[in-house]
Chain A
Amino acid sequence: MKPDLPHVVGPGDALDRVNDYFYERGWTDGLPIVPPTEERVRAMLGGMPWRKADEVISTVPPKMGAASMHQIAVNTVMAGCRPEYLPVVVAALRAVSEPEYGLAHRQTTTHPGAPLIIVNGPAVAQLRINCGRGLFGPGWRANATIGRALRLILVNIGGAGPAVDASQTGHPGKYTYCIAEYEAANPWEPLHVERGFAQEHSVVTVVNCEAPHSMTENIQTDPDEIVRTFASSMATLGVNNLYSQGHPVLVLGIEHARHFASAGWSKRDVQRALFERARQPWGLVKNRGKSKGPRFPEFVDQSDDSSMVPIVREARDLIVIVGGGAGGKSMFLPTAGGQSLSVSKPIEAG
């Protein structure tokens, strides 16, 4: 019996040559790609037969490259996607192309952000997008390749390769950054319903996020105390949201979500509590970080050092989703701030 491990295959000259060629031209993310043969690209386009191959979905900055369905399919093949993932990739590209997202500056900024793709609706189960244990981690083809496809599109069609993307440090989510909401473990309405879509629709929400930051609370189960822990983790000096707010993301662990719901809290209550308590006093914030930036909130009284600065302009701006496995952890994902906001788009179904 063969061991259950990857095994050696025959000489892969053609594969190696294609990979060397693509890598030398800066067309990859550094990882090997699936060669986009005509057959594979045609099969990929079969994932959206209602769209024509020469149809342009968006123009991608800074190179202002035309993202035709054909070009999208080439990059989606390279990423290792299955054809049924293509509508998710296209929805994500349409989302980042909306002005609120600010793709031109997200592609070229020094800020370490990457487009986080959050999937809601029936597509999560249909495509087996991980929303549970390890949702940000490896092991799931849909998560791994959908996010990677968007990255390759942004690099190859948009021209934001390593010499152009000025992100000072980047972050691992720039390889792939795709999760789903664990709707069955969410005691409230899921994100897409909160945003006005029908429960039975599949929707992509894209937010330009930094790396996820774990917030452990293994001891407290009282919502006020959990909020206290979260607020301390979220409103840290140096986090961009303290200076220009925006739409940061809270991925609420399933156990934490249960504690809130058991105590009668709604999602709105969680958002309101964190809007009120995830703050720092102006006296501590001033003359630091980006406090002299153009988007600093005008409602903060800068004549009063005790005036409190929130991480969002209003409660609903904090994106709250439920996800992950068993354990006492939730994740906070800061964003660049108000210059790049989240966008939701329906996933086309023909």
Chain B
Amino acid sequence: MVSTAFAPLAQVVCEGIGHPCLPIVVVPHPVGDPDEALVRKRGEDIAKECVRVLTTPAETLAREFEGKRFPLPDTVMPR
């Protein structure tokens, strides 16, 4: 589970450790915010996706995540 600013890094790490299809749950960056309700909402959103990837058969996830790309948001690296 990573924020959008670190998703490409997470993918390279997954490839590096020999698990290129490892499911990555991506959340908007930054995760932190002074508004506690907003942070709580983000947590709830993530939890649903975490449950999904933890309860979906690995073969299905491998097909879903194979070749999937998470480009850096323009706010992190304007192009």
Contacts and interface: CB of A to CB of B under 8 A. Distances in A.
A63 B9 CA distance: 9
A62 B5 CA distance: 16
A321 B34 CA distance: 45
B67 to A, nearest CB: 16
A61 interface: yes
A62 B8 contact: no
Contacts of B77: 162-163
15 contacts: A61-B13, A61-B16, A62-B9, A62-B12, A63-B15, A63-B16, A64-B16, A159-B12, A159-B16, A163-B8, A163-B71, A163-B77, A164-B8, A164-B12, A166-B6
A166 B12 contact: no
Contacts of B12: 62-63, 159, 164
Given A108-B9, A162-B77, A163-B77, A62 B16 contact: yes
B45 to A, nearest CB: 23
Interface in A184-218: none
B30 to A, nearest CB: 12
Contacts of A65: 16
Q: Lowest 6 A-B CB distances belong to which pairs?
A: A64-B16, A163-B8, A63-B16, A62-B13, A164-B9, A159-B12
Interface string A162-194: 111010000000000000000000000000000
Contact of A166 (B5, B15, B71): B5
Chain A: interface secondary structure? Answer: loop
A29 to B, nearest CB: 16
Contacts of B37: none
A50 B57 CA distance: 50
B57 to A, nearest CB: 27
A109 to B, nearest CB: 10
A63 B6 CA distance: 15
B61 to A, nearest CB: 21
Nearest to B14: A62
Contacts of B71: 163
A162 B71 CA distance: 12
Contacts of B9: 62, 108, 163-164, 166
Given A162-B77, A163-B72, A163-B77, A64 B17 contact: yes
A159 B15 CA distance: 10
Nearest to A63: B16
Interface string A95-125: 0000000000000100000000000000000
Given A62-B9, A62-B12, A64-B16, 15 more contacts: A61-B13, A61-B16, A62-B16, A63-B12, A63-B16, A65-B16, A108-B9, A108-B13, A162-B77, A163-B8, A163-B9, A163-B71, A163-B77, A164-B9, A164-B12
Contacts of A62: 9, 12-13, 16
Contacts of A166: 5-6, 9
Interface string B38-79: 000000000000000000000000000000000110000100
Contacts of A63: 12, 15-16
Nearest to A165: B9
Interface in A130-184: 159, 162-164, 166
Interface in A206-236: none
Contacts of B6: 166
Interface string B1-12: 000011011001
A154 B72 CA distance: 20
A167 to B, nearest CB: 11
Contacts of A108: 9, 13
A310 B17 CA distance: 38
Nearest to B11: A164
A55 to B, nearest CB: 21
B6 to A, nearest CB: 6
A166 B72 CA distance: 11
Contacts of B16: 61-65, 159
